[in-house]
A and B are shown apart, each in its own frame.
Chain A
């Protein structure tokens, strides 16, 4: 038996023994579903969510390509494909959602010291530490490099003072990776460093921001004389901007994929919503105007999906076009939600109370949430600037 064949059999067997029933397709719909982000203070409505996370974390399969010395799965590309296929076959839930995995880990792997990798990667992979991102500030949105949160050298440590904003789930996170100003006299891009800060340190506080959707996934995060050990600096002093840009590519790739994946789910499908609210005869949406707009949108979405696939098939070229994927993924996601609420009519703008279904109320809020997609991780306009300058080589003013 070939190695890969054996790997498939072992994986199948392992999943069979270790993936709890409620973590697979066909799970009892009465069992509550957790969004598992891990961390020190994680709470689980369904204990099997925790079991599944621990099992996968132990194997290192939440980051299967990372080497075993850092707690990863140590798998090669072919093995990862098999793992994904076998998980797909039983409809296994993703064990862990994590900014640590999506954003910080790639940066640690590229820029971290051996000691930093060994300290942080295993905890990310096992879901023991939940991370958040400290980038934007009240005065530094699109012009991120103007950030003012300062980290002063006080000998053994940095002394951090300032404020971050739009820190996703900062109130639930254990650690934050932040951009801080360490070179106040340098040109703005050359005085920034990338620092890891334990949120339990004295002087760190958070305050949730309520969004138009009524939810509060973001916080303001305050640093008031926070002392941070110097070995929490990633990369060279004042070289944080390069790392930040790299991380933004990972973030943009993630946000664009997220938008696309959301479109695949049947309950969020614009076609089924349109058929429900506008009528469905012989499988056709009974309103030509909506039908035509929906078809145009579906075509664009199809073409976008094929472009993601092509970038993958071409291999490696994706980073040059990360801005395009971020731009399109989020703009499509917004458009899809606009179509869904429009096709829902009155129900598409339901807010609360028993007169409306949960699916209607959730849709309204989801629609409002998408308005942030084209702002977070660099606005659509910033992406257009990046494409104009870096891809098309158009001149600066």
Chain B
């Protein structure tokens, strides 16, 4: 495993960087927030991304995708993270595309994958039920009824849940809370009768929903993967999602750090640039080191995913932990080093802080993954 980008991956990264800089600078996100956009992502921007082939990066060529791999989509998310670009790329282009490509039946692939490639279908993974991520604690039930399953319960904090056309639901078909066995994944059209979505207002002004299921009927053919193996399957899907999210969070950190560094080189107090103060220099240097460690962790994880390494789980937890801790540090320091303007809404740096804390929670916090890393390492 070489920790360098291939030429194609570098090309994707460069393309994504120009795109994000030109088409979705931070003003784009600010406008969505200020206009209280119902989706909090822009349909026109999404169709531009679709033209670039981004939703199909994890999808095989026979369904219209490019099969460029996790590293490919992660470098795009990394660049989008730098300008806080909201889009369905994570929930659909990573989670939806990966889940259906790897665990879907031929019928499901034929039905959904071309629609994802065309940007016509967006997806959302409904996983959490309590304030702390833990898939084993799934309680929402799917009870067998003839050739259908009847689902009852509530999912919370569903990323892109307010807009997604297709919900990937983790439900309990047997066993009890705390068991990873007895779980099954289902694909459900979000307009199915009995589904109620409540859009959430989160600190980062992105698209989330709580979703309730009231006697929702799901045909057996809509099971994703196999009955009762959803726990294992979803862990694999989540690991890919955690790695992609870590890459986006790295982008958040890089941009917040760059912006802060620029500020240290412009802002004068006591007649000198504040960047000449050792109290700030050393903290900046420490952040630089943390960012370097994060880049390596994220790249090792994306490469491991592409190469099918048996270290995938551990590297996924590593990447999510390190990216989370670095973003936590950098977002705090960025606000502090900007001084008064750092806590104004007019200035962008606060967006990074708010995005940071939400992203840290997605698919498990650094604390969750530090424990998981210990479990996977045998201590």
User: Which residue in chain B gives the minimum CB-CB distance to A386?
Assistant: B285
Q: Mark A296-336, 1 if CB is under 8 A from B, else 0.
A: 10111011101101100110000001001001100000000
The residue from B2, B278, B289, B318 contacting A328, defined by CB atoms under 8 A apart = B289
User: Taking the complex as formed, is B377 at the interface, i.e. its CB lies under 8 A from any CB of chain A?
Assistant: yes
B379 touches A299 (CB 8 A): no
How far apart are the CA atoms of A353 and B308 in the complex, in Å?
52
B265 touches A395 (CB 8 A): yes
User: Taking the complex as formed, is A381 at the interface, i.e. its CB lies under 8 A from any CB of chain B?
Assistant: yes
- Which residue, A275, A291, A303, A383, has most C-beta atoms of chain B within 10 A? A303
User: Which residue in chain B gives the minimum CB-CB distance to A296?
Assistant: B370
User: Taking the complex as formed, is B264 at the interface, i.e. its CB lies under 8 A from any CB of chain A?
Assistant: yes
How far apart are the CA atoms of A124 and B285 in the complex, in Å?
37
User: Taking the complex as formed, is A82 at the interface, i.e. its CB lies under 8 A from any CB of chain B?
Assistant: no
B282 touches A299 (CB 8 A): no
A310 touches B276 (CB 8 A): no
The residue from A284, A294, A296, A307 contacting B292, defined by CB atoms under 8 A apart = A307
How far apart are the CA atoms of A396 and B285 in the complex, in Å?
14
B285 touches A388 (CB 8 A): yes
How far apart are the CA atoms of A396 and B275 in the complex, in Å?
8
B272 touches A313 (CB 8 A): no
A291 touches B289 (CB 8 A): no
Q: How far is the CB of B25 from chain A (nearest CB, A)?
A: 24
Q: How far is the CB of A288 from chain B (nearest CB, A)?
A: 9
A394 touches B379 (CB 8 A): no
Complex interface residues of chain B between 340 and 374 (CB less than 8 A to chain A) = 367, 370-371, 373-374
User: Taking the complex as formed, is A384 at the interface, i.e. its CB lies under 8 A from any CB of chain B?
Assistant: yes
User: Taking the complex as formed, is B198 at the interface, i.e. its CB lies under 8 A from any CB of chain A?
Assistant: no
Inter-chain contact total with CB atoms closer than 8 Å: 121
Residues of A within 8 A of B277 (CB): 397
**Also in contact, A324 and B265, with CB within 8 A (given A385-B281, A395-B276):** no
Residues of A within 8 A of B322 (CB): 299-300, 303
A295 touches B281 (CB 8 A): no
User: Taking the complex as formed, is B150 at the interface, i.e. its CB lies under 8 A from any CB of chain A?
Assistant: no
**Also in contact, A292 and B371, with CB within 8 A (given A384-B282, A395-B273):** yes
Residues of A within 8 A of B293 (CB): 300, 303-304, 306-307, 328
**Also in contact, A393 and B265, with CB within 8 A (given A271-B379, A309-B3, A324-B292):** yes
User: Taking the complex as formed, is A283 at the interface, i.e. its CB lies under 8 A from any CB of chain B?
Assistant: yes
The residue from A285, A298, A306, A309 contacting B373, defined by CB atoms under 8 A apart = A298
User: Taking the complex as formed, is B312 at the interface, i.e. its CB lies under 8 A from any CB of chain A?
Assistant: no
Q: Mark A256-296, 1 if CB is under 8 A from B, else 0.
A: 00000000000000010011000000011100000110111
Residues of B within 8 A of A314 (CB): 3-4
User: Taking the complex as formed, is A36 at the interface, i.e. its CB lies under 8 A from any CB of chain B?
Assistant: no
How far apart are the CA atoms of A271 and B318 in the complex, in Å?
17
Q: How far is the CB of B377 from chain A (nearest CB, A)?
A: 7
Complex interface residues of chain B between 1 and 20 (CB less than 8 A to chain A) = 2-4
How far apart are the CA atoms of A299 and B379 in the complex, in Å?
13
Residues of A within 8 A of B280 (CB): 394
A298 touches B377 (CB 8 A): yes
Residues of B within 8 A of A392 (CB): 261, 281, 284-285, 288
Complex interface residues of chain B between 249 and 289 (CB less than 8 A to chain A) = 261, 264-265, 272-273, 275-278, 280-282, 284-286, 288-289
How far apart are the CA atoms of A275 and B377 in the complex, in Å?
13
B289 touches A313 (CB 8 A): no
Residues of B within 8 A of A327 (CB): 289
The residue from A274, A304, A394 contacting B276, defined by CB atoms under 8 A apart = A394
- Which residue, B272, B276, B289, B297, has most C-beta atoms of chain A within 10 A? B289
B275 touches A395 (CB 8 A): yes
A307 touches B296 (CB 8 A): yes
A306 touches B300 (CB 8 A): yes
How far apart are the CA atoms of A306 and B276 in the complex, in Å?
32
Q: How far is the CB of A237 from chain B (nearest CB, A)?
A: 34
How far apart are the CA atoms of A291 and B372 in the complex, in Å?
11
User: Taking the complex as formed, is A211 at the interface, i.e. its CB lies under 8 A from any CB of chain B?
Assistant: no
- Which residue, B281, B285, B299, B300, has most C-beta atoms of chain A within 10 A? B285
User: Taking the complex as formed, is B146 at the interface, i.e. its CB lies under 8 A from any CB of chain A?
Assistant: no
User: Taking the complex as formed, is A4 at the interface, i.e. its CB lies under 8 A from any CB of chain B?
Assistant: no
How far apart are the CA atoms of A385 and B280 in the complex, in Å?
11
Q: Mark A369-397, 1 if CB is under 8 A from B, else 0.
A: 00000000000010111011101111111
A384 touches B379 (CB 8 A): no
Q: How far is the CB of A68 from chain B (nearest CB, A)?
A: 31
The residue from B265, B297, B374, B378 contacting A394, defined by CB atoms under 8 A apart = B265
**Also in contact, A299 and B321, with CB within 8 A (given A275-B379, A384-B286):** yes
Residues of A within 8 A of B289 (CB): 324, 327-328, 387
Residues of A within 8 A of B275 (CB): 394-395
The residue from A296, A310, A395 contacting B299, defined by CB atoms under 8 A apart = A310
Q: How far is the CB of A213 from chain B (nearest CB, A)?
A: 27
**Also in contact, A303 and B272, with CB within 8 A (given A384-B282, A388-B285):** no
A396 touches B318 (CB 8 A): no
B288 touches A387 (CB 8 A): yes
**Also in contact, A303 and B297, with CB within 8 A (given A310-B3, A328-B289, A388-B285):** yes
List residues of chain B with CB under 8 Å of any chain A CB: 2-4, 261, 264-265, 272-273, 275-278, 280-282, 284-286, 288-289, 292-297, 299-300, 318, 321-322, 367, 370-371, 373-375, 377-379
What are the 9 tightest A-B residue pairs by CB atom distance, in nearest-first order?
A388-B281, A387-B285, A295-B374, A310-B3, A306-B296, A307-B296, A303-B293, A384-B285, A384-B282
Question: Please, could you name 24 A-B residue pairs with CB atoms under 8 Å apart, sorted by A?
Answer: A283-B379, A285-B379, A292-B374, A294-B379, A295-B377, A296-B370, A302-B297, A303-B318, A307-B292, A309-B3, A309-B300, A310-B4, A310-B296, A327-B289, A328-B289, A383-B285, A384-B286, A385-B281, A385-B282, A388-B281, A388-B282, A392-B284, A394-B265, A395-B275
List residues of chain A with CB under 8 Å of any chain B CB: 271, 274-275, 283-285, 291-292, 294-296, 298-300, 302-304, 306-307, 309-310, 313-314, 321, 324, 327-328, 381, 383-385, 387-389, 391-397
